[in-house]
Structure 1
């Protein structure tokens, strides 16, 4: 089906339509109508049932505005960019990688360096979609996608609308781990809006500036926690690994989750587990599995935090669109927030039995360090303690060198070993603090809604006339039942129909 037909159907039947039409519309923002809001809510409830309730996870709801420090720690300030090219003739802005994909056989131009995309624009003489002027020679630049705002009046604190719901979970980890009693693994879910200042919104619900995500952050001990893989071992999936994408004659791999994990096609058993869960869930809500696949990210397109990443993709109107991502984020997020924040983002892992270990310590003589190093004395003492843990052999000589400060402000000091009072003593340890790793299934709710509508869109012929209808799965269909009196001019039948409808509503339909 043509996307125009679906968009027209969605508008006419009250599923979704462009927002702010009375004021000329605003690109990248859509309103869900009565049918669409009900469909979207049912998709969210089905996701909540499978990924929160059935998995034994817990759901939170965090603010959508967060301070700048959060995104400095997470890396979004430096790396959350898309490639922008501006037309010098009309001033319009475009996603440079999308323009390249539209006129070449390259499917993932965002994985290419900006200089290469710039060269491809010139080599293919790509024109501005708005005015037709050539874009050859126009610079391709990085454009940060976050919406900036001020928190409070006057000397306000800088903040941003969250570009993903995940950070709202990560920053609350110190408290969330208490609710889990410090035991791994545990999962936290969140369904809510996210915001990205897209360069060129397009495709209905596929690329919006405000959209809804449903995300799960699974916190695990990478050394000991294993997923319940047997639950999905026999689930059939269609995979498109990176190696096949890069091959001249690359093909899909039709296999099972168990075989893909055992053969190393899917590197992480946890990612494999959630691919299997997602496959079953998408079938449950009505995605056409003949138009569905899991595609592995190429190295150049992986998010800055992802060690490995797969996308769930659906075919809509001849194009493959991403509708969910499955990333092994490692300890990136929690380590970053642990370094930048004031709380601890680790958990205490208790040993099966206490261990006796040798521990190197220092007890610096501050009566000597103070006069010698002045304001740096405390920093020197801390550096000595860190060095003792990292490299005890450094204290074998008569003096010890430590560096205080970073970058241009770094300064090296020499301390007499006797002043450091280095020693090694036996200690009993009951456990250790570890930084959990994170596995993240992240679903685009709007993209799922558009996929369901596209895959449910059908036509047939009745008495020589073509009709269009949606064959939605009952669990997500916006209407559960309808009551129609045989005739509308009979008050008795109308009253009876109203009574039946009221009974159905009272029953939760």
Structure 2
């Protein structure tokens, strides 16, 4: 067995990961978390919450996983959320075209067009791995799970492909919560769904998975000189820039350059300080949950692989024994793409008023309505029209005035209805006025984490085999069981003392397990295998002086402390 198979075998035996729907044969792309796996995953999530909610000041929301068609049409997912598909002419089995090519020839297909993929298949005579048949032409396949809302399927919808859109849709409410004072951030953690073509990478490529995404809203003019960047500017990271990836004269090792974030921004490798800062936050989080630093790199997206919404994007890639480097986190500058798209499609104003450093005099249009005519025409909606006109920015106001002068009418789209405005409904004149601020559409920096991939990498990076034991060397932050408590023998009151200590540990918020089965060495090995950092043994000395033996997982060192000091000692170490 290779390392991956050994880890999966351990995780199935010890209650970390199980194949979903196993008694019915299972379905690729779905996994269950067992008792210890669920705790491990939740510990990863809670550590993530600590970094973003406690440390960074973001707030969390929770929105539905079913998303109406209109939302994902506006966001661009209906047109752009696709992968290249090939289908066998004989057995009709479907495969992801780029993966099939990479499995057959030593080539990187990232960013290749459909035509380029088709030429690679034909040139190298790549055939169906199941039956040996020829493939049909490469085509695109939309990865979203389609569904419908209500009886009859009249309202089209999808299972959300990302959690981010739930934040953008509620932007006005979120902005009000933050008193409209940029910058601010919102996060969402939950299930997302991608109907993968042929997921053959176990827990690495799932059809239902957990995302943790943050959306940091910022004035675009503040990205270059981001206040928080000062605290991380000297952090050194392994960077694989887009430029180096395309430089064929460099070896794979030479393409990765270790440099400070300050130098990376100064040299134009990372776009600006704001995205660099959240790359640093990503590294801090990954280190705390136990990722091996030597198996971490940050890779910049090439122009032809950049998401439709991104101006710049860096992936935190983690190295795995079987699958090589895999993307686990994406830190993207989404600009104001999403807010503009939802403004256009919903008619809602998603701008934010920002104060200027100093007042300035500007020319602006002043509108005076013909209230009698407008009231007679629009009746109860007249007030909606008046408020909507007040919300127009300079550009929209120019459009309205020009249309009224040239065509005699203008259609104003609002979230409630469309208003056809005739020239006689209003008078517009330019006046000079002093303004203290202006409306902007915020830009967004998005750190997006694939929790399931990260959780697997935590397990693989923690997995070690010694001559006499297998160890999951989890960091204290994520280990599912914090303490194992053993009576040396099942007599002389030792089990009762051990059980009482276990209960006290749990009362103090620490997951502790009692084990009295088998030799003490075998019990240690069982706890090592599930990554428990501390084991405590109640023995004969405990009966004499109320002291216990503490054994540390990684060093195997053993020492004694008074039993009444165990809880504070463990809490301090954790």
Per the TM superposition, whether the score is higher than 0.5 is yes
- Give the aligned partner of residue 406 of structure 2: 400
Measured at CA, do residues 390 and 8 of structure 1 come closer, stay the same or move farther in structure 2, by a change above 3 Å?
same
- Does structure 1 residue 332 correspond to structure 2 residue 333? no
Q: Which residues of 2 match residues 8-407 of structure 1 at below 5 A?
A: 8-107=9-108, 109-135=109-135, 138-154=136-152, 156-224=154-222, 226-250=226-250, 251-317=255-321, 319-360=324-365, 389=398, 400=406
Q: Per the alignment, do residues 449 and 433 of structure 1 end up closer, same or farther by CA in structure 2, a change over 3 Å counting?
A: same
After TM superposition, the runs of 4+ consecutive aligned structure 1 residues lying more than 4 A away are 360-368, 385-388, 390-395, 401-405, 416-422
Deviation string 1:152-177 (CA, Å, 9 cap, x unpaired) is 12353211111001011110101000
Deviates more, 1:225-234 or 1:298-307: 225-234
CA shift in 2, pair 1:234/1:178, >3 Å: same
Q: Report the Cα distance in structure 1 between the residues aligned to 2:286 and 2:329, rounded to whole angstroms.
A: 11
What corresponds to 2:498 in structure 1?
497
Q: Distance in 1 between matches of 2:19 and 2:372?
A: 71
Taking only aligned residues, the RMSD between alpha carbons, in angstroms, comes to 2.9
What corresponds to 2:466 in structure 1?
Answer: 460
Q: CA deviation at 1:355?
A: 3.0
CA distance in 2, matches of 1:293, 1:155: 45
C-alpha distance in 2 between matches for 1:253 and 1:364: 62
Aligned residue in 1 for 2:453: 447
CA shift at 1:97, angstroms? 0.9
- Whether the 8 Å CA contact 2:195–2:207 is kept in 1: the answer is yes
Q: Measure the CA separation in 2 of the matches of 1:114 and 1:37.
A: 39
Q: Quote the offset at 1:469 in angstroms.
A: 1.8
Larger RCO of the pair (alpha carbons < 8 Å, separation 6+): 1
1:364 and 1:185 map into 2 onto residues whose CA distance is 36
**Greater CA deviation, 490-499 or 294-303?**
490-499
Q: Give the match for residue 435 of structure 2.
A: 429
The one-character-per-residue Cα deviations of 1:267-315 (angstroms, maximum 9, x if unpaired) are 1211111111211221121111111100000111111101111100011
Per-residue Cα deviation, 1:378-424 (whole angstroms, up to 9, x for no partner): x9xx99x97861598999xxx7358978xxxxxxxxxx999996643
Q: Distance in 2 between matches of 1:330 and 1:497?
A: 57
Deviation at 1:340? 1.3
Structure 1 residue 354: deviation in Å?
3.8
Contact 1:359/1:389, CA 8 A, preserved across alignment: no
Q: In 2, distance between residues paired with 1:441 and 1:356? A: 39
Task: Indicate if the aligned counterparts of 2:88 and 2:94 stay in contact, CA closer than 8 A.
Answer: yes
- Indicate if the aligned counterparts of 2:78 and 2:142 stay in contact, CA closer than 8 A: yes
C-alpha distance in structure 1 between counterparts of 2:31 and 2:331, whole Å: 26
Q: Structure 1 CA distance, aligned partners of 2:169 and 2:161?
A: 14
Take 1:296 and 1:402, find their aligned partners in 2: how far apart are those partners?
51
Write the distance in 2 (CA, Å) between the matches of 1:457 and 1:213.
Answer: 24
SS at match of 1:484: strand
Tell me by how many angstroms 1:425 deviates: 2.2
> Does structure 2 conserve the Cα–Cα contact (< 8 Å) formed by 1:268 and 1:328?
no
Q: Is the 8 A contact 2:408 2:423 kept in 1?
A: no
Deviation at 1:428, TM superposition (A): 3.4
- The answer to whether the 8 Å contact 1:83/1:110 transfers is no
CA distance in 2, matches of 1:8, 1:183: 51
| Deviation digits for residues 210-252 of structure 1 (CA, Å, limit 9, x no counterpart) | 0001111000001135241111112110000011111113311
Q: Do the aligned partners of residues 240 and 358 (structure 1) sit closer, same or farther apart at CA in structure 2, a change above 3 Å counting?
A: same
Matches of 2:61 and 2:332, distance apart in 1: 20
- Mapped to 2, the partners of 1:393 and 1:25 lie a distance apart of 63
Rounded to whole Å, the distance in 2 between the matches of 1:213 and 1:420 is 50
SS of 2:32's equivalent in the other structure is strand
Segments of structure 2 that go 5 or more residues without pairing to the other structure are 374-384, 412-421, 511-574
- Supply the distance in 1 between the matched residues of 2:218 and 2:243 (Cα, whole angstroms): 28
Q: What TM-score do the two structures reach when normalised by structure 2?
A: 0.78
Q: How much has 1:95 moved relative to structure 2?
A: 0.5
Determine the C-alpha separation between the residues in 1 that align with 2:186 and 2:438.
23
Question: Structure 1 387/468 Cα, relative in aligned 2: closer, same or farther at 3 Å?
Answer: closer
Cα–Cα, structure 1 residues 255 and 352, in superposed 2: closer, same or farther, change >3 Å? Answer: closer
1:32 offset after TM fit, Å? Answer: 0.5
Cα drift, residue 129 of structure 1: 2.0
Displacement, 1:361?
Answer: 6.0
- How far did residue 435 of structure 1 move? 0.4
Alpha-carbon displacement from aligned partner over 1:446-486 (angstroms, at most 9, x marks no partner): 10111111111111113xxxx32211111111110011111
Cα contact 1:214–1:442 (8 A) shared by 2: yes
Structure 2 CA distance for aligned equivalents of residues 76 and 394 of structure 1: 33
- Measure, in 1, the Cα distance between the counterparts of 2:134 and 2:111: 23
Counterparts in 2 of 1:110 and 1:142: CA distance versus 1, 3 Å: farther
Q: Is the 8 A contact 1:242 1:298 kept in 2?
A: yes
User: Is the partner of 1:8 in helix, strand or coil?
Assistant: helix
- Number of matched pairs: 478
